[in-house]
Structure 1
Amino acid sequence: MKKTLLALLLLGVTATAASAQVEIGLKVSPSIAYLRADGSSNNFQKDKSKLGLGGGLVVDYFFGENYAFSSGLELAGKGGTISYNDPGTGTAQTTKITAQYLQIPLTMKLFTNDIATDTKLYFQLGGVVGANIGTRINGEKEYTDPGNNNEVFKANKFLLVPDFGVMIGFGSEYQVGQSTKVFAGLHYQRGLPNIDNYYGDERGLKNVVLKNSEFALDLGLKF
């Protein structure tokens, strides 16, 4: 009986592997990023968005003709400019935060049947996990805080390293050869945790929240 169950299990795994298809590609992703800022006691708020450029590896693992688990490894530029009332100086301050993230999407892609010759639409939904690998404050690697006795802090201490969020997107894919496809789409990433590692810990300001958001255009080629 055990041998029969094992044989059926191996048969199922083999059939799944045989029917699965992996498509690997590269993409470039120009983006508009901003920080969702909140801190009612000091009027923390979003001031400006920033342009970024990312991209990387795309891996689509198909479990059927029209659906796939989509992941990869990519760089993403995030951050933005925030404004707040600084209790140390008694004046309004703005801070430009530029951050580079290495991230892994964990999403599902759902494809339509052909809407035109060799052309499909896709919808993407899932999550993304990432790590901050570089931060600049006002364009510099060190930050001199006028509201904290002009103390100097390293910019890479400003944000927490880990981040994760949800991703939603859509686009189209066009087959140009036997195994070559080009695609174009839009996606939105919404960070979930508070990534502030400075205003609360170093400045002692209450209820400060900073969260990443990004709109990006995906342009790529799969082989």
Structure 2
Amino acid sequence: MKKTMLALALLLGGVATKASAQVEIGLKVSPSITSLRVSSPAERNFQSDGSRAGIGGGIIVDYFFGENYAFSTGLNLTFKGGNVRYLTENSPSDNGLSTQKQKIGLQYLEIPLTLKLFTNEIATDTKLYFQVGGTANARVASRINGNKFYTDPSTGNETKASSHFIVPDAALLGGLGVEYQVGQSTKVFAGVSYHRGLFNIERYFDNTRKLKDVSFKNNEVALDLGLKF
């Protein structure tokens, strides 16, 4: 009986040790280039007018359910947005059209819901990884032309920048990188990821200006640099 209990205790201890080793937690920083995919009816000619640079970062959690397979999640603060231009009325008293521009800066809290696939070692303590899945995002800050308020040149009305965009967003995520083990439980990694926004985040031109079928969607290419413990 004593031998049976001892064997069971050793077995449970081994399972607990193995389970604890399946979770890796770390920190990352992600410089990025962001832009907006823009569309509208031809008469308003909404277009993307360039990209913006940003930086984000946060906590990552990799839960391994196999030697080379992990569910990867975490909590990140990310920068998104871009520059747009469009045709609009010159002023409330002048119906002539002119080109206006906006520099849009948005910050999101992001929760990745992804799968990481690791190769076997390609060199000593070095593996490649591929990451696929999506992210759930919530907007926490907004600026237009660097300001929290925006005065529309067509109407003369001032609005909060936050009122121009919806709060939720979601994105498809694809990435690849390399991970290197530098200690018994310490790893460093570097990779590149692409985040393709799925939601039309714009609501001002549709709801307030009544310009139908205007769409802004986020795009982001990020360099992911981090350390896992």
- TM-score between both structures, scaled by the size of structure 1: 0.91
1:202 to 195, 198, 208: 208
Partner letter of residue 22 of structure 1? V
Which residue of the partner structure matches residue 5 of structure 2? none
1:188 to 180, 194, 211: 194
Superposed displacement of residue 87, structure 1: 3.7
Q: Which runs of 5+ in 1 are unaligned?
A: 1-13
Distance 2:65 2:110 in 1: 23
> Deviation of residue 159 (structure 1)?
0.7
CA distance in 2, matches of 1:115, 1:16: 30
CA distance in 1, matches of 2:90, 2:73: 45
Secondary structure at the counterpart of residue 204 of structure 2: coil
User: C-alpha displacement at 1:16, in angstroms?
Assistant: 9.9
> Identity percentage over the alignment?
58
Residue 169 of structure 2 aligns with which residue? 163
Question: Which whole-Å deviations, capped at 9, do the CAs of 1:98-142 have from their partners, x for residues lacking one?
Answer: 000001000000000000000000000000001000000100010
1:8 maps to none
**Letter matched to residue 110 of structure 1:** L
Aligned to 1:27: 28
Question: The residue matched to 1:174 in structure 2 has which SS?
Answer: strand
Aligned residues: 210
Tell me, in whole angstroms, the C-alpha distance in 2 between the residues paired with 1:67 and 1:23: 12
Inter-partner Cα distance in structure 1 for 2:189 and 2:160: 40
Equivalent of 1:145 in 145, 152, 167? 152
The structure 2 residue matched to 1:127, chosen from 111, 123, 134, is 134
**Which aligned pairs between 1:1-223 and structure 2 lie closer than 5 A?**
18-19=18-19, 21-40=22-41, 41-87=43-89, 89=91, 90-148=97-155, 150-223=156-229
Native 8 Å contact 1:80 1:96 kept in 2: yes
State the match for 1:6 in structure 2: none
The two structures have a TM-score, normalised by structure 2, of 0.88
Corresponding letter in the other structure for 1:132: R
Aligned residues of 1:42 and 1:87 also touching (Cα < 8 A): no
Unaligned runs of 5+ in 2: 1-13, 92-96
Please report how far the alpha carbon of residue 15 of structure 1 lies from its aligned counterpart in structure 2 after TM superposition: 6.3
- 3-state SS of paired residue (2:162): helix
1:42 and 1:176, CA in 2 relative to 1: closer, same or farther beyond 3 A? same
Q: Equivalents in 2 of 1:184, 1:77: separation in Å?
A: 19
Secondary structure, aligned partner of 2:205: coil
Q: Look up the SS of the partner of 2:206 in the other structure.
A: coil
Q: Quickly say closer, same or farther: Cα 1:92–1:16, change in 2 above 3 A.
A: farther
What secondary structure does 1:48 align onto?
coil
Q: Secondary structure at the match of 2:222?
A: strand
Superposed displacement of residue 165, structure 1: 1.1
Residue 4 of structure 2 corresponds to none
- Read off the aligned partner of 1:160 and give its amino acid letter: I
Matches of 1:122 and 1:214, distance apart in 2: 20
Q: Counterpart of 1:38 in structure 2: which amino acid?
A: S
Give the whole-Å Cα distance in 2 for the aligned partners of 1:171 and 1:145: 43
- When the two chains are superposed, the root-mean-square deviation of aligned CA atoms in Å is 1.7
Give the equivalent residue in structure 1 for 2:9. none
Q: Distance in 1 between matches of 2:131 and 2:17?
A: 23
| CA deviation vs aligned residue, 1:43-83 (integer Å, no higher than 9, x gap) | 11100100000000000000010000000000000000001
What amino acid maps onto 1:102 in structure 2? Answer: L
